Amino acid sequence: MKRIIFILFCFTITFSNSQNNPEPWYDSSKSFDERIELLINSMNVKEKVTQLLNDSPEIKRLNISGYNWWNEALHGVARSGKATVFPQTIGMASSFDKDMMFRVGNAISDEARAINNHLVSRNGKYIQYMGLSFWSPNVNIFRDPRWGRGQETYGEDPLLSGTLGAQFIKGMQGDHPKYLKTAACAKHYAVHSGPEALRHEFNAVVDDKDLYETYLPAFKLCVDAGVEAVMCAYNRTNDKACCGSDELLMNILRGDWGFDGHIVSDCGALKNFHNFHDVTKTKEESAALALLNGVDINCGSTYHALLGALDKGLVTEADIDKRLRKVLSTRFRLGFFDDRDDNPYAKIPTSVINNDEHRNLAREAGHKSIVLLQNRNNVLPLKKDLPFVYVGGPLAADVRSLIGNYHGLSPDMTTLVEGVIRKTSPSTRLQYRSGTPLAMANKNPIDWYSGQAKTADATIVGVGFSVLLEGEEGEAIASDVMGDNITMQLPENQMNYLRKVGETDKPLIVVVFAGCPIDLSEIKEFADAIVYAWYPGEEGGNALADVIFGDVSPSGKLPISFPKSVDQLPAYEDYNMDGRTYKYMQDPLYPFGFGLSYANFSIENISVSKTKLRHSKKDNIFISVDIKNESDFIADEVLQLYISFQNEKLDVPINELKKFKRLTLNPKSIVSETFNLSTEDLFYINENGLKIPFKGDVKISVGNASPGKRSSELGAIIKEVIVQIK
């Protein structure tokens, strides 16, 4: 009997160990590459194909858990459990803060790991939106302000977009030598920026100059930062479907840039091949085209047709294996096949989720995202003990004004009216009325709101958009143009509301919630202050109140030019860059890089280490300036360095951002800052997409906005110097 019990005990131990490490690909003493080959060789072709789908099913006989690759985290873990909601991406781009973007990415990935750790430890399952592969960041260029999804981007400049995106990626993926904290994904590659209604069928026609000068550089910076995944876009670029383009995927991304991660299709993009683009006729042909041109994961179901494509000789099993290696590499690096005790990221606790540190970071990000566009007669900051403050507008108390699209949910989201209430003194009388709906005329003609504005010591109104009006095609349910802002106008009922409350000699502060530029040409005439809040995140109300009442000086800078109106723009469907962005647009209403402060800054003593450079010597030049805070505010300022090639015969940008740095200055203090430019920064892109060394005079501008007449009219400070390149 004792012998039988002993045998059963030994069998139990052996069985338990086999469950912990049942297959050779769980042997952590082997390299990832060895284990991947062992796993691939154990799969049949049907199983291999299932693992190339975003919703990869469980393979029980191999002890492989199911996994859904589709997870989102543009500005916080989205569509998941409780999480910190940071400002929408376009808002964080206004910070021009590389360090902050890294910290935001790090905080988001900590929360993502904690959510996933809790889920897996509880039931061993991986489910959509609670996984570890995140389809963020979006580094498309916000080339046209009418695009509803421009809110997801870092703006119109490739350097700013790529730099902030790269820092976000580094924060998301961690720095462990073996494991990824999460897998980030740069999207949507490439030349994808509206119109939303046409995205499944549109052919973006671009020349090589615009492709290499504008549309590709941000993706290249993300690849250089080690991004694990790249998502190809819905549309065609130059007649080739982006997810089936040998030029974009194989020649540029894999070949020229050496990208070694995995490529995922946008969701449903492969069925567009035969349904809309007419580049293939069948599902099998579409699946083969994507597979052979580098798409490793199909978000959708088209890759089910790979078995038929295999039968027809359109692909081989070796082709499928090649794609599968990339997919499994990411899963191994995320730690799916290792003991969780060996992976430090698998130990991140749920206590990090929406903790005080992350909420404080969301508030900081909110501060730095807010752009003060107008402050007539220095009406801001307001005093906290004003006798009567009236708050109005359809978005002043709407939580949707905080979150934008691709958002998470926090248990403590603070609206504008709540932030004002927390900031004002106990003896301040407060009134709040919406005054008008979001996007429809008042049906009741009785007016109980404009009279309040005429008697208040200050009126603060929250207007703009929300995810109901702008965003992705299926989410903006109140939009009749699939989420874009075709006219650049506020809804007419909101404009009528503003006109009525603006009929006063008392201070009117207009707070705009939006993910895109709107036409402010009329609003600026009757508003004393215009505060562009974007979608400022869960701490948005507190951050806005901090700025409006002077606890924090505004410091955000526009990451996209604000045209005067749509009349200043080329056709929306035209992807040529002529007339677009600060590089090629003349005289915008509000320029790229512009934003006011409560502090009085001066920029002085610009100097260069040399005035002549030679490309042949690969020279460097150092540009130094002094920036002085002449006020009593502690304030941040963003120094921006631009170059302008002085040759009218060349098709080159008017100005081009090359360096930027965010600085904090104490009251009455001076900071000296030096930028380093190399001759590598002094190339231009010709009509063939080639980098050409510029020779001649180059104007170097350093200031707190992009150079130009309009910036100077608005009070920006810009210093210039000419250098010569031979």
CB 50 within 8 A of CB 66: no
Place of tokens 């009218």: 648
DSSP string, 475-520: T-TT-SSTT--TT----HHHHHHHHHHTSSSS-EEEEEE-SS----
CB 164 within 8 A of CB 170: no
Distance CA(581)–CA(213), nearest Å, equals: 13
Give ∠ CA 597-509-548 in degrees, rounded to 5.
50
Distance CA(633)–CA(450), nearest Å, equals: 34
* Backbone angle region of 696, left / alpha / beta, with phi > 0 → left and psi within -120 to 50 → alpha: left
Distance CA(695)–CA(614), nearest Å, equals: 9
Place of tokens 């040409």: 521
The 10 Å Cβ neighbour count of residue 263 is 26
The 10 Å Cβ neighbour count of residue 85 is 30
Would you call the peptide bond into 190 cis, given omega within 30 degrees of 0 as the criterion? yes
- Structure letter (DSSP) for residue 338: S
- Which of 616, 638, 625 minimizes the C-alpha distance to 725? 616
- Which of 449, 460, 462, 459 minimizes the C-alpha distance to 400? 462
Distance CA(553)–CA(718), nearest Å, equals: 21
Measure Cα distances from 308 to 282, 299, 304, 315 in Å. 10, 18, 8, 9
DSSP string, 85-148: -PPPHHHHHTTT-HHHHHHHHHHHHHHHHHHHHHHHHHHS---TTSSSB----B------TT-G
Please indicate whether residue 480 is annotated as part of the active site: no
Local structure of 156: helix, strand or coil: coil
Distance CA(471)–CA(474), nearest Å, equals: 8
Phi, psi of 379 (to 5 degrees): -65, -30
Secondary structure of 272-317 in the HEC alphabet? HHHHHHCCCCCHHHHHHHHHHCCCCEECCCHHHHHHHHHHCCCCCH
Q: 154-165 burial, b if ≥16 CB within 10 A, otherwise e? A: bbbbbbbbbbbb
Local structure of 74: helix, strand or coil: coil
Number of alpha helices (DSSP H) and beta strands (DSSP E) in the chain: 21, 24
Phi, psi of 203 (to 5 degrees): -110, 105
Measure Cα distances from 719 to 436, 439, 615, 677, 724 in Å. 45, 44, 25, 16, 17
CB 352 within 8 A of CB 111: yes
- Candidate list 110, 144, 210, 266, residue with the active-site label: 266
Q: Which residues are catalytic?
A: 266
